[in-house]
């Protein structure tokens, strides 16, 4: 059963769901969202409710009292959730746990630094992925700033004019995706992002699973323990010449979760087992499985236009063992819905201005 805000949502069009209930937007009306989901869960005799977005996660954590004792929520206590979704707080916990992160500081547009005080380029992030604005949550993408003027514009685009300014480095983009229970990593999948969109520091558009790497696993476990997290997570790292650094923390369902499932690690199912008190059986995921998001076409187009035409053409070639974020032959309606929206996406300015941290 899927809770959606519109019959145009991908979940409403998927044949994978047994049914659909329409609910208020969790970002606009978190209390109403929680109440509607609780009512639907009671009506359908649901055992577990899982949040699909960060807004839903925050709403369920804050209004867990709406649910009966017969329903198990996939949400940590409010304080734990607020810390895990706060970029400044997560970096502070990372430092306490000995997890190295890219250097970052909070800056405001009213007091921008002198150009010589910042080593460009930098990434400008909102302090939270979902920022409170006029009583509702709004999602603001991060931006890459190459000079002082771009930095000021990026800060000014944020609702409070305040953001986190983080060092931008190049290197191997790595993700640790998994499920945690009471601060312990129960299952994890390691992946390498081969392409992103936007290309500077955007979400994963093409990735593959890699063999588990001990440094990544150790850093992930240390941070999850520091956050005392239970649930799905996506931790983003970059391996540069100077070492391995934490880039971002997403304590929620993430864009490329289909890769873990395709590789044999059904993270949502493992999460449900844990919530219901079962002991999930450990399973090794397959290495070399790939995922291509629908945004990868834009990344390849950028490669072609920038002169890397051979790489762009090679990237178009189908590869075995490749899953897709939305498109599926066995479940075609979400993919067709995406295609209908594609013209608007291609003409948007996000590819020029927004530079989201990989997710």
- Return the higher-pLDDT residue of 2 and 350: 2
- Provide mean pLDDT across the span 109-122: 76
Query: What pLDDT, on a 0 to 100 scale, did the predictor assign at position 112?
Result: 59
Tell me, what's the pLDDT at 348? 47
Is 90 exceeded by the pLDDT of residue 136?
Answer: yes
Report how far residue 48's alpha carbon sits from residue 272's, in angstroms, rounded to the nearest whole number. Answer: 7
Please tell me the predicted confidence (pLDDT) of residue 115. Answer: 53
Residues 197-207 pLDDT 10s: 888 888 899 99
pLDDT at 127 over 80: yes
| Domain residue limits, the chain | 2-75, 103-167, 172-353
Question: Does residue 354 or residue 278 have the better pLDDT?
Answer: 278
Q: Identify which has the larger pLDDT, 164 or 350.
A: 164
Given this model, what pLDDT does residue 357 score? Answer: 32
Query: Does residue 192 register a pLDDT over 80?
Result: yes
Average pLDDT, the chain: 90
Domain 172-353 has CATH 3.30.70.100: no
Q: In this predicted structure, what is the pLDDT of residue 184?
A: 98
State the pLDDT at residue 353: 29
Determine which of 20-24, 166-170, 338-342 has the lowest per-residue pLDDT on average: 338-342
Predicted confidence (pLDDT) at residue 337 exceeds the cutoff of 80: no
What percentage of the chain reaches a pLDDT higher than 70? 93
Q: Which of 6-15, 236-245, 256-265, 290-299 has the lowest mean pLDDT?
A: 6-15
């Amino acid at each position: 059963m899927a809770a959606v805000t519109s019959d145009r949502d991908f979940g409403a069009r998927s044949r994978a769901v047994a049914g659909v209930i329409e609910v208020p937007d969790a970002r606009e009306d978190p209390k109403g969202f929680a109440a509607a989901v609780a009512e639907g869960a009671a009506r359908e005799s649901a055992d577990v409710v899982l949040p699909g977005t960060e807004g839903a996660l925050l709403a369920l954590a804050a209004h867990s009292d709406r649910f009966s004792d017969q329903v198990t929520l996939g949400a940590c206590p409010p304080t734990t959730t607020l810390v895990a979704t706060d970029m400044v707080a997560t970096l502070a916990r990372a430092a306490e746990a000995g997890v190295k992160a890219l250097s970052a500081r909070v800056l405001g547009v009213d007091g921008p630094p002198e150009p010589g005080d910042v080593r460009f380029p930098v990434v400008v992030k909102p302090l939270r992925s979902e920022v409170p604005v006029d009583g509702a949550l709004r999602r603001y993408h991060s931006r890459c700033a190459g000079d002082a003027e771009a930095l000021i514009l990026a800060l000014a685009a944020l609702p409070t004019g305040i953001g986190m300014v983080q060092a931008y480095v190049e290197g191997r983009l790595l993700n640790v995706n998994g499920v945690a229970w009471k601060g312990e990593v129960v299952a994890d999948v390691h992946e390498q992002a081969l392409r992103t969109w936007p290309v500077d520091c955007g979400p994963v558009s093409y990735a593959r699973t890699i063999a588990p790497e001990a440094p990544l696993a150790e850093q992930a476990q240390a941070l999850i323990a520091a956050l005392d997290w239970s649930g799905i997570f996506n931790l983003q790292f970059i391996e540069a010449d100077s070492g391995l650094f934490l880039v971002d923390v997403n304590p929620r369902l993430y864009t490329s979760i289909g890769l873990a499932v395709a590789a044999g690690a059904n993270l949502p199912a493992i999460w449900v087992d844990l919530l219901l008190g079962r002991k999930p059986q450990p399973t090794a995921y397959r290495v070399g499985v790939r995922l291509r998001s629908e945004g990868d076409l834009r990344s390849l187009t950028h490669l072609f236009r920038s002169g890397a035409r051979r790489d762009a053409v090679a990237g178009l070639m189908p590869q075995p063992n490749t899953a897709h974020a939305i498109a599926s032959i066995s479940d075609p309606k979400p993919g067709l819905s995406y295609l209908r929206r594609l013209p608007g996406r291609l003409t948007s300015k996000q590819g020029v201005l927004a530079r989201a941290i990989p997710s």
